[in-house]
A = this chain, B = another copy of it.
Amino acid sequence: MTTDPKAARPLGELERVVMEQLWAADAALTVREVHERLSLTRELAYTTVMTVLDRLAKKKLTERERDGKAWRYRAAAPRADLAADLMRDALDQAGDRREALVRFVGQVSTEEAALLREALSRLEALDG
């Protein structure tokens, strides 16, 4: 689990692209910086980006720190964590976990299956 044990609803479309900027950045970004990056591919009001960043913070998906009069935002958790949380939630909704996992591995690509085996091996090595 990342942080919240509850409801990790999938991100909205704009929320996702904003988070992607944060994940892609080395450091925490200001609203302006995120806005600038997004402006390369779409038109958005500065305040729109600010609102989204703010909402993400309220949802605990971003954290922010002061930098002068501005806030700097960074992702509260790695992208992979978010994805893993969503996978968990999905699995939790299945009645029969075994069956759900069977279906899941049955639909992943060969590469993904290999990655899964690898991850499990690594886990085994750790757990002993």
List A residues at the B interface (Cβ < 8 Å). 1, 9-11, 16, 20, 23, 78-91, 93-108, 110-113, 115-120, 122-123, 127
> Are B107 and A80 touching (Cβ within 8 A)?
no
Contact A115 B97, CB 8 Å, known A80-B103, A81-B103: yes
Q: Specify the main secondary structure of chain A where it touches its partner.
A: helix
Contact A90 B101, CB 8 Å, known A10-B9, A106-B123, A113-B120: no
Cα distance, A108 to B120, chains bound together (Å): 11
Contact A93 B99, CB 8 Å, known A105-B116, A106-B123, A116-B116: no
Contact A117 B115, CB 8 Å, known A91-B83, A94-B80, A100-B87: no
Cα distance, A88 to B90, chains bound together (Å): 9
Contact A102 B80, CB 8 Å, known A113-B123, A115-B97: yes
Cα distance, A54 to B81, chains bound together (Å): 35
- Contact partner of A102 (CB less than 8 A), chosen from B100, B111, B119, is B119
- Known A79-B99, A105-B120; 14 more pairs at CB < 8 Å: A11-B93, A80-B102, A83-B91, A83-B100, A84-B90, A84-B94, A84-B103, A84-B107, A87-B87, A89-B90, A98-B118, A101-B115, A110-B127, A113-B123
